[in-house]
Amino acid sequence: MKLKNTLLLFVFFICLATIQTEAQLLSKKINFTHADTLRGSNGPGRDWWDVTKYDLHVKFNIEDSTISGYNIISFKILKKGAIMQIDLQEPLILDSVKCLITSNMVNLSANDFKKEGNTYFMSIANLKTKIPALNSKNYLTIYYHGKPQIAKRPPWDGGLIWAKDKSNSPWVSIACQGLGSSVWYPCKDIQSDEPDSAEMHITIPDSLVCVGNGHLRNKTINGDGTATYDWAVVNPINNYCLIPYIGKYVHFGEIFKGEKGNLAMDYWVLDSNLEKAKKQFQDAPRMMKAFEYWFGPYPFYEDGYKLVDAPHLGMEHQSATAYGNGYQNGYHGTDLSGSGWGLKWDFIIVHESGHEWFANNITTKDIADMWVHEGFTNYSETLFTEYYYGKDAGTAYVMGTRNRIGNDIPIIGPYGVNKGGSGDMYYKGGNMLHTIRQVVNNDTLFRKILRGLNKTFYHQTVTTKQIENYISLQSKINFSKVFDQYLRTTQIPTLEYKQDGYQLQYRYIDCINNFRLPLKINFKGPRWIKPTQAWQTLNLYPEGDNKFSVDPNFYINTKKVD
């Protein structure tokens, strides 16, 4: 009986520890639905086929806020599959589908699909055709129409934006990161499968201009009061980055002589903003120069670089960055770091363009790992500041952003349900990278790692583990526990220390087991220590200043104890 009670008590404490750990990692439980799994996972309706191209043909009917058209999806077969999942968000309606598979054309109606919320399932058996061969190229043409969801607070929520400019002319665009591009066109709406190229053929009133990703190939006046603009990208692109802008646009541009040659930098702005843009957009070539230094060549020379006036704050729409910062420095005129340095440059130009390297070039397979997009891009603000104003300025900027860290939930979210982690992925992610940079203690090597990431994972989708392992491998320092600490818990490690004259004792608390983060300290001169969770002692001769401090570049807490 005594043994049984002991075992029960042991199990109780194990369960309690598990509950506490899970509470720390997730803060609060979120109940996910089957729809979340369909949206966020690479399930049986997705894992057997690979999108190679989207060819969008969409008419925007501004009078009644509706759209209609079709998407030709080119795809190849990776393995045998039984069902195909197509995503199209309500209230948009799928009308019909033409399938060209193994050279056989099959026409399907909406009744041939099983619909579950925002998802349509097509049974391959219903096609009554040969099973597609591996790596064979096939096509779907999906016709649809409807009144798409309207964004209430873009870009933080998704949907169509039917706005007006200052002259009361129509100004239309879309913001759909997170919510998904299926809010406005039928697709395979998962980040891990990017089309290798894409085209948009957008029909609008002929009194307006449409701007899109990549290069404008053609404009057709249709003779019925509408015009069709043909835009195309020749590089892989995230689904949510494929976006049209519609309004009273005018154009100017320049050529940037970059690492891969001449890069077309084009600026499309509302006619009323032209003079302001010519002045403010001088930050664009400055950005390009700094980021090519730190990250390597701009990843999309073939598609050019654009800034486009947008009816929302901004978004990293590949080769067509959305700009809505009011033609002022900072973040809508505010320095997010409080250091003063953030008012030296236009936040949206720098931050959203930084995503061309981290988000558009290197894209995470799951939105749960979005810190790779936002953490590196947040740190790009520091690197831009450092490039033009010096290392002390960059340091002041990144350290100033710590006041915005909440440590509410972990940075990495739950996988397979289209759910990101904490907003701390920005400021905490940037400060984690700054801390790692201190441990590397070699800025030439650190820059080589940043450039190496963009070269090694060029135009690829990745997992966080690939990025973590690459940094550890290239630096020859095992940062696995550092990543676990800052990405997967809400605790900030604390260096607890005791000081008695020339003796210093120290250890880590508030950290995971086997946490290892070397620290640069000042105690009778600058030196390095390697704290663990066990007390260690540093004995030094009495000569010199015995005032103790940790280099503030390291994002940790300190606590003096008796």
Q: What is the CATH number of the domain that holds 518?
A: 2.60.40
What is the rounded CA–CA span in Å between residue 130 and residue 101? Answer: 8
Q: Catalogue the E-assigned strands of 151-259.
A: 159-164, 170-175, 197-205, 209-211, 215-221, 226-233, 245-247, 249-258
Q: Of the candidates 443, 466, 488, which is a domain's last residue?
A: 488
Cβ atoms within 10 Å, residue 54? 25
Residue 18 has what pLDDT?
A: 37
What is the rounded CA–CA span in Å between residue 483 and residue 462? Answer: 16
Q: Is the peptide bond before 91 cis (omega within 30 degrees of 0)?
A: yes
What is the rounded CA–CA span in Å between residue 401 and residue 395? Answer: 10
Pair 502, 482 in one domain = no
Establish if 30 belongs to a structural domain: no
Q: Are 47 and 190 in contact (CB under 8 A)?
A: no
Pair 123, 51 in one domain = yes
Establish if 289 belongs to a structural domain: yes
Q: What is the DSSP letter of 346?
A: B
Query: In one letter, which amino acid is 246?
Result: I
| pTM strictly above 0.85 | yes
Q: Of the candidates 488, 523, 551, which is a domain's last residue?
A: 488
Residue 132 has what pLDDT?
A: 66
Q: Which residues of the chain are modeled with pLDDT < 70?
A: 1-29, 102-103, 127-132, 542-544
Inter-helix orientation angle 464-475/480-488, to 10°: 140
Q: Are 362 and 374 in contact (CB under 8 A)?
A: no
Pair 498, 475 in one domain = no
Q: Is the peptide bond before 155 cis (omega within 30 degrees of 0)?
A: yes
Q: Are 367 and 178 in contact (CB under 8 A)?
A: yes
Token digits of residue 252: 């100017």
What is the rounded CA–CA span in Å between residue 558 and residue 83? Answer: 56
Transcribe 51-101 into DSSP letters: EEEEEEEEEEETTTTEEEEEEEEEEEE-S--SEEEEE--TT-EEEEEEEEE
Backbone angles phi, psi at 265, to 5 degrees: -115, 110
Establish if 526 belongs to a structural domain: yes
Establish if 462 belongs to a structural domain: yes
Pair 264, 242 in one domain = yes
Pair 233, 346 in one domain = no
Pair 148, 240 in one domain = yes
Residue 129 has what pLDDT?
A: 60
Pair 262, 136 in one domain = yes
CATH assignment at residue 375: 1.10.390.10
Establish if 22 belongs to a structural domain: no
CATH assignment at residue 241: 2.60.40.1730
Q: Of the candidates 471, 488, 505, which is a domain's last residue?
A: 488
Dihedral, CA atoms, 72, 157, 284, 370, nearest 10 degrees?
Answer: -80
Closest CA to 319 of 277, 276, 288: 288
Q: Which secondary-structure segment (H or E) carries 509?
A: strand 503-509
Token digits of residue 232: 């195309």
What is the residue range of 171's domain?
Answer: 45-323
Backbone angles phi, psi at 221, to 5 degrees: -85, 120
Establish if 427 belongs to a structural domain: yes
Token digits of residue 89: 């968000």
Pairing status of strand 66-77 against strand 305-309: unpaired
Establish if 6 belongs to a structural domain: no
Establish if 556 belongs to a structural domain: yes
How many structural domains does the chain have? 3
Pair 451, 309 in one domain = no
Pair 288, 351 in one domain = no
Residue 24 has what pLDDT?
A: 38
What is the rounded CA–CA span in Å between residue 288 and residue 233? Answer: 20
Question: How many angstroms separate the most distant Cα atoms in the chain?
Answer: 91
Pair 315, 351 in one domain = no
Pair 514, 549 in one domain = yes
Pair 318, 392 in one domain = no
The dihedral through the CA atoms of 241, 244, 247, 248 has a sign that is positive
Cβ atoms within 10 Å, residue 493? 24
